[in-house]
A and B are shown apart, each in its own frame.
Chain A
């Protein structure tokens, strides 16, 4: 099976996010005074081959722990979608 994983990597709560803070200060300058809690992270998309959904998720979690995120300062969220088989 093929699964598409969309991984959202953000700063862990309590870790300073200077980019988010800067954008949060910039938006009111454009007239948006109703914005708060701006967070900036990154989105990683990949396709993984795995026999089933649990294995796919397990693989992606390991990738996040080992490389895609730095657990010291970052949190990650995985969204897994089964890709329709082309056969």
Chain B
């Protein structure tokens, strides 16, 4: 049976079809799950895709966090299921406290839309299990609030527990410690600003995101946790 991935859709989400398309191209099954739903349809992994959930009103991710579907996402994460937040999804996961820290406005106050190089820093997360540590991936970024920040104690913990998943080679947005993506302690919840789904085919300019999505599909197939 192919790996099932729930792709959460909030009002204002705009990358759900890109994620679903990339998942299906790699042999997985993608289910779009609307924010008012309370179940993840038995999927083995959840992706919160990019966009502007609830218009990014108040703060990015602040309102999305209270949507009914987030209780199911939290339950899935607590049961050890794979949860990945891409871009706006990363912002939502930090607001929901499923990941520590916060994403701030880019240091240069510019909206950034370009391809950047990121180094894989660990293979112990659900998004990088099949990636080679040290490999440099060319991935697109597309954000205004992408500068990762946290307090010094949290940064120490992220480093000591091997929870930095991706680092920028040439920091584009002022992110603390060049962080492009992090995981929770167990490695089953990951947030990242770059878009692996937009680097999933040579025709898109890069297929470097495939290894990340394949890692996720492997994790989704391994553990179908919540119903």
Report A's interface with B, CB cutoff 8 A: 15-16, 18-19, 22, 67-68, 70, 72-73
Contacts and interface: CB of A to CB of B under 8 A. Distances in A.
Given A22-B109, A70-B95, A73-B149, A15 B104 contact: yes
Main DSSP-derived SS at the B contact region: loop
Interface in B74-108: 94-95, 100-102, 104-108
A27 to B, nearest CB: 16
B105 A73 contact: no
Interface residues of B, number: 21
A15 B106 CA distance: 13
B107 A16 contact: yes
Contact of A16 (B58, B66, B95, B104): B104
Given A70-B59, A70-B95, A73-B104, A18 B174 contact: yes
B105 A19 contact: yes
Contacts of B207: none
A77 to B, nearest CB: 17
B149 A15 contact: yes
B149 A18 contact: no
Given A22-B109, A70-B95, A72-B102, A16 B62 contact: no
Contacts of A72: 94, 100-102, 149-151
